[in-house]
A and B are shown apart, each in its own frame.
Chain A
Amino acid sequence: MTEDTKRLKLLANTIRQDIITMLTEAKSGHPAGSLGLSDVFAALYFFTLKHDPKKPDWPDRDRFVLSNGHVCPVLYASLACAGYFPKEMLMTLRKLGSPLQGHPHRGALPGIENSSGPLGQGISQAVGMALVAKREARTWCVYSVMGDGEMNEGQVWEALLLAAKYKLNNLVAIIDRNNIQIDGTTDDVLPLEPFADKFHAFGWNAIEIDGNNMEAVLEALKAAKAETTKPTAIIAKTVSGKGVSFMEGKFEWHGKTPNPEQAAQAIKELNDARTALEAAP
């Protein structure tokens, strides 16, 4: 394990603990997808993204566009961890008057590039942002995280076509391939396979990885950055609820929060994992 990977794995562990704590306090929200994506977010916010939490409006920053807004706990936890706002604010999630809305609201908090919630809309905005950079020879890249259930939306495929047309190699879509959506598995609700082939057919580069393997995530992000002719889709196969044994792979936890006992159990498991990680070479 390199210095970087160990650091990022520890950050992912911190993000997971914050997700559990904030959702337990909020008593509503979406833990499964948030936990599953924690490794990807640690990689993005603490390795890949060119950003400055002290200057959230820095014109040449990389843009991060969350398309499946319901996993915002992982975004809020990552932003707080990076220093965009004080960590105590996480405990206001979903409460009246809080800038941490149940789904993200642009302008409410530093670091939030787009409002989201209704699926399929983030990727179009990401395409617009990447297009501006491309047309004006700016250096920023655009990263968008999407859900696999979100790929049911027709708008997504409109956006994919346009990104390929304009050869947006500065655009990276990371699809959370956890095979879970609200009414069941994605295979049952609306099958997506052969998934990577669809991206290839739409003129995209596609990389399939284990989205909970930090080394694999970093490698995929580096490969996407090196792409020179087309946009890249990173199909990140994740385990929903990752890091909390009783949540892992269970779609019941898509939109349900833990009670205080379950939260204590989850934090204990995450702390054990952290101790093991710290002890590792």
Chain B
Amino acid sequence: MTHPLKLVPDPFAPNIQKKSSRDGFGKALVELGERDKNVWAISADVSESSRTHWFAEKFPARFVQVGVAEQNMAGVAAGVAACGKTVFISAFGAFSPGRNFDQIRVSICYNDVPVKIHASHTGLAVGPDGASHQMLEDVAMMRALPNMVVLVPADMEQAKKATHAAATIKTPVYIRTSRENAPVFTTPDTPFTIGKANVYRDGKDVAIFACGMQVYEALKAAEELKQENIDAAVIDMHTIKPIDRAAIVSYAKKCGVLVSVEDHQIDGGLGSAMAEVLAEGWPAVLKRAGVAGTFGESGTCAELFSKYGVDSAGIVKAAKEAIHMKEVLKSYEVFP
């Protein structure tokens, strides 16, 4: 497969490189540290897991270890940022932003200081640790905050770019990565602009909007749908806020059938954000794939993606349901 957005030559090659998006964050953080002495990083006792340890080893004078204290981490970061620094705080999503929402809201967003909140363990992808650690509500919380930008990179390469991009803007940013090793299907040349969705594959029958590890699953799903003569578009929604309204509306017009897929609650995440745009912008059928109002559970990442319908098979099913729904609505003359 070749296409204008410069993905790897064969995203479905069995030997495709697999890396975690948290690694992309950690590498970019070191690059930022080398480039700008005003970049600081803070960890809440999970520096290796959240990949701030590389920065810590290299720039100890700009690294702060606060201990298991995520509320204080957010506040200290706001204080450091108020002194002219760009500060990256890292922990597991369940604890930051899970535990320190008030501090992120007031000390970071209301102060409007450049603190970048990085969560390395998010969603079902956390796997065997189970529901308490499978943060599925973080995007919903962060998306509701004024001044906040919300990024959910699809792979290791994109996580690097997201981290660099976060440092270039003055506002608070939430960066959601994963610890699971996953195919690195984008390349250093794949474009990345905050707020601009990447269309990896055009299609006319159904448009699949995905974020995080689900983008790769969506690409696989599109291949499977092609076998059944269904022409699916795949759009990488790496930015949940500000949401790319134009991309959503244009595919609503083109396909009339959309699928959202995310490793997150369908209420409050990408699916909700899309439903909002469609309701106000251009009515279309939307099927939201994701976790539907339940907690997760222990299992491998692959098992959980399958069980909760956010792997390629689940996306294929969602796409077919959405297409069927369009046909039903057509028969009632709801849609043209």
What is A's interface to B at a CB cutoff of 8 Å? 59, 65, 105-107, 113-118, 120-133, 135, 154-155, 158-159, 161-162
Contacts and interface: CB of A to CB of B under 8 A. Distances in A.
Contacts of B83: 128-129, 132-133
A106 B72 contact: no
A135 B107 contact: no
B66 A158 contact: yes
Contacts of B61: 135
A127 B69 CA distance: 14
Interface of B: 61-62, 64, 66-67, 69, 71-72, 74-85, 102-103, 106-107, 110-112
Contact of A162 (B66, B74, B81): B66
A126 B107 CA distance: 11
- Interface-central residue, B72, B76, B78, B112, by most chain A CB under 10 Å: B72
Contact of B79 (A116, A118, A126, A161): A126
Contacts of B111: 106-107, 114-115, 125
B103 A124 contact: yes
Contacts of B71: 120, 124, 154-155, 158
Contact of A127 (B76, B103, B112): B76
Which of A116, A120, A125, A159: most chain B Cβ within 10 A?
Answer: A125
Nearest to A106: B111
Q: Which 9 A-B pairs have the closest CB atoms?
A: A128-B79, A124-B75, A125-B79, A158-B72, A158-B69, A128-B76, A128-B80, A132-B83, A155-B71
**Majority SS at the chain A contact face:** helix
B69 A132 contact: no
Nearest to A117: B106
Contacts of A121: 75, 102-103, 106-107
Nearest to B109: A115
B97 to A, nearest CB: 15
B106 A127 contact: no
B72 A116 contact: no
24 contacts: A65-B79, A114-B78, A114-B107, A114-B111, A115-B111, A118-B102, A121-B102, A124-B72, A124-B74, A124-B103, A125-B82, A125-B111, A127-B72, A127-B75, A128-B76, A128-B77, A132-B80, A132-B83, A132-B85, A133-B83, A135-B62, A155-B71, A155-B72, A162-B67
Contacts of A133: 83
A115 B107 contact: yes
B106 A128 contact: no
A131 B76 contact: yes
B72 A159 contact: yes
B103 A155 contact: yes
A128 B80 CA distance: 5
Most buried by A among B61, B76, B82: B76
A125 B102 contact: no
Nearest to B106: A118
A101 B82 CA distance: 20
A142 B237 CA distance: 42
B62 A125 contact: no
A65 B74 CA distance: 16
A133 B85 CA distance: 12
Contacts of B102: 118, 121
A39 to B, nearest CB: 26
B170 to A, nearest CB: 12
B64 A131 contact: yes
Given A124-B72, A124-B78, A124-B79, A161 B67 contact: yes
Contacts of A129: 79-80, 82-83
Contact of A105 (B72, B85, B107, B110): B110
A232 B71 CA distance: 22
Most B Cβ at <10 Å: residue of A124, A155, A159: A124
A54 B103 CA distance: 31
A114 B67 contact: no
Nearest to A116: B106
A226 to B, nearest CB: 24
A117 B61 CA distance: 31
Contacts of A115: 106-107, 110-111
A237 B153 CA distance: 52
Nearest to B60: A135
A109 to B, nearest CB: 14
Nearest to A124: B75
Contacts of B103: 121, 124, 155
A107 B109 CA distance: 12
B85 A125 contact: no
Given A154-B71, A158-B67, A125 B106 contact: no
A167 to B, nearest CB: 14
Contacts of B107: 114-115, 121, 124-125
